[in-house]
Amino acid sequence: MQVQRIGYGIRGFYRIAHLGHLWEMTPKDAQRRLEILRFWDKHGLAATQDAFGVSRRTLYRWKAALRASGGNPAALAAKSCAPKRKRTPKTDPRLVAEIRRLRTLVDPNLGKDKLHVLLAPWCEAQGIPLPSASTLGRIKSPRPGQDASCAHPPRQQRPHKAYPAPEQAA
C-alpha cells in the first residue's frame, strides 16, 4: 500500500512548509529584527526610531543583510562581537616554570606579593625583567597537582536542593 504525504498534489505546499520550518528555526532576536524592519516599511523611519530606539544605520545594515541572504530571516541573527584577534601572553616560559617550582617547594597557595619578593633575585640572575606583582597574579601557572590545561581546580558538585544525595547505608 502506498502512503501519500500530507501535501501531495498541492502546488507549492512543500516550499511554504520549508519556509515555515526555517521560521521556527530562526533565533528570537532575528525574528524581532525582522518585525522591526516590517514596522519600518509600514510606518517610516522616525516612528521606528521612536518606538524601538534603533539607529538609521542599524536599520539599513539589517535590511542589506536580509537582501543579501535572499530574504532568509536567519541572516539577522546576532553575530559574535568577540575580537577577531586576541592578545597572546608574552610571558617568558622560564618565569612560568620558576613560579611552578616555587609553588611546589614553598607553598602551593603562594600569592602574587610573596612571589614577587621571591622572584626578584632569580629574575636578576637570569636577566629576565621582573613583572609587577599584579602581572604575576595574572600569569596562568597551575598549582602543583593540577592539570596544566586548567589553572583552577574543578568545582565539587553538590547535590541539588530538590534532589538530595541518597543516604549512605550504615
Q: What is the DSSP letter of 11?
A: T
* pTM of this structure: 0.45
pLDDT at 45: 94
pLDDT in tens, 112-147: 888 899 899 999 999 989 888 888 877 766 555 655
pLDDT at 103: 83
The Cβ-side half-sphere exposure at 14, using a 13 Å CA radius, reads 5
pLDDT for 160 equals 57
Q: How far apart are CA 126 and CA 97, in angstroms?
A: 13
- The position carrying cell 597537582 is 145
End-to-end CA distance of the chain: 63
Cell of 37: 524592519
Question: Residue 156 has which C-alpha cell?
Answer: 565539587
In this prediction, the residues of the chain whose per-residue pLDDT falls under 50 are: 150-151, 170
For the chain, give every domain's residue range.
13-76, 93-138
Query: Within 13 Å of residue 39, how many CA atoms lie on the same side as its CB?
Result: 17
| Cβ atoms of residues 146 and 153 within 8 Å | yes
